[in-house]
Structure 1
Amino acid sequence: MDEKVKEEQSIADISAEIVPECCLDEEALSCEQKSEVEELKAKVAELEDKYLRANADFDNMKRRLEKEKMQAIAYAHEVFARDLLPAIDSLEMAILAGNNADVDSADLFVKVKEGLELTIEQFRKTFEKHGVELVDIEGTFDPNFHEAVMQVESEEKSSGEILQVFQKGYKIKERILRPAMVSIVK
């Protein structure tokens, strides 16, 4: 609010510069000077109106952009979540298949295993679509991508190489979501 008062004062100062105080005594002015003063007053009023409108437009745009930004943040994961729904549906169908009493348990196991493999594949495709990748676990230990939970001696591999993976790691683009938990060779 103080800024608007300062802005209005600065407009008054500008108008005082344009129309000097000696010219404000309208009785002492000639007809030509009076019309010039009226034109300048009208121009100052017009510029003041334009300024106030532009300032209001700017404030409105700033509020609208802030609102759009907050909505974008709130719903940023909407597409990703929507793409995961088929995988969840597949898992629910697997549970329902387990409730079917007409199916032999050996056949049920094979079908549930196939369903789980297909569901994992759905998850992988969705992750790939959204830039989520597995952390590379081949080669030597990298503390940026791996978390060593154990060191083991091995004659098959050299020191610092990954021997076993306990939990896969994931990254989105170049940012680590979860490091791979591995054991490394001493």
Structure 2
Amino acid sequence: MDEKLKEEQSVSDISAEIVPECSENDEELACECEQKSELEELQSKVAELEDRYLRANADFDNMKRRLEKEKMQAISYAHEVFARDLLPVIDSLEMAILAGSNTEIESGELLGKVKEGLGLTIEQFRKAFEKHGVELVAIDGTFDPNFHEAVMQLESEEKGSGEILQVFQKGYKIKDRILRPAMVSIVK
């Protein structure tokens, strides 16, 4: 056992000779080196995070511009389907004009055919409107300022005060929003 203690003592003596004890100055240098490496590491992380932030911000701006462009295109072409549904109505009116230039048909018969064609054309309009949620404003006899516009007030023995007497122009609404109120005359 003594030999083992002597061996350990000689190893510690040799290591003391090879590695001198650190002085206070060496510890300060090691601390400064450690702080510099930590600072460099933190600066590297800050640069990386700043780069990621800039890229994310650029991606956000690009997406925002793309969505704005798509929104503007959607607004520009929003009426495309409605307009396409009205094209047959225009075709019918053009055919009615062409039929009026046909001199082989008597005027009485022509008038009847034009009247029938206009009735069918109006029905095409109603179907196109109905398909897109456009409806007539109801005229149920009672004046409602939300749906009707009173342009005249007349006296009547047949109807009570505030009731609709006559409709001058039909009103239309799309879903719950009024496109045009019905123009009516009401009883005083």
Regarding TM over 0.5, the answer is yes
Query: In the alignment, what sits opposite 2:124?
Result: 122
1:37 shift after superposition: 3.6
Greater CA drift, 117-126 or 102-111: 102-111
What is the TM-score of this pair, normalised by structure 2?
Answer: 0.77
Q: Over alpha carbons, which structure has the higher Rg?
A: 2
Find the aligned partners of 1:27 and 1:131 in 2 and give their Cα distance: 80
1:74 shift after superposition: 2.1
Query: What are the within-5 Å matches in structure 2 for residues 24-173 of structure 1?
Result: 29-30=32-33, 32-173=34-175
Find the aligned partners of 1:48 and 1:184 in 2 and give their Cα distance: 71
1:106 shift after superposition: 2.1
Find the aligned partners of 1:156 and 1:179 in 2 and give their Cα distance: 24
Deviations 1:65-119 (A, max 9, x none): 2212222222222221111111011100110111112222222112111111111
3-state SS of 1:29 partner: helix
Find the aligned partners of 1:27 and 1:93 in 2 and give their Cα distance: 98
Query: In the alignment, what sits opposite 1:178?
Result: 180
Amino acid paired to 1:126? A
Amino acid paired to 1:156? E
Once superposed, which parts of structure 1, at least 4 consecutive aligned residues long, lie more than 6 Å away? none
What is the TM-score of this pair, normalised by structure 1?
Answer: 0.78
Find the aligned partners of 2:169 and 2:158 in 1 and give their Cα distance: 22
Give the gaps of 5 or more residues in structure 1.
Answer: 1-25
1:27 shift after superposition: 9.4
Q: How many corresponding residue pairs?
A: 160
Find the aligned partners of 2:176 and 2:149 in 1 and give their Cα distance: 17
1:35 shift after superposition: 4.3
Amino acid paired to 1:184? I
Give the gaps of 5 or more residues in structure 2.
Answer: 1-28
3-state SS of 2:59 partner: helix
3-state SS of 2:142 partner: coil
Find the aligned partners of 2:134 and 2:44 in 1 and give their Cα distance: 63
Greater CA drift, 113-122 or 38-47: 38-47
Deviations 1:26-55 (A, max 9, x none): 99733x555444432322221111111001
3-state SS of 1:52 partner: helix
Find the aligned partners of 1:136 and 1:84 in 2 and give their Cα distance: 23
3-state SS of 2:104 partner: coil
Amino acid paired to 2:180? R
Find the aligned partners of 1:34 and 1:181 in 2 and give their Cα distance: 84
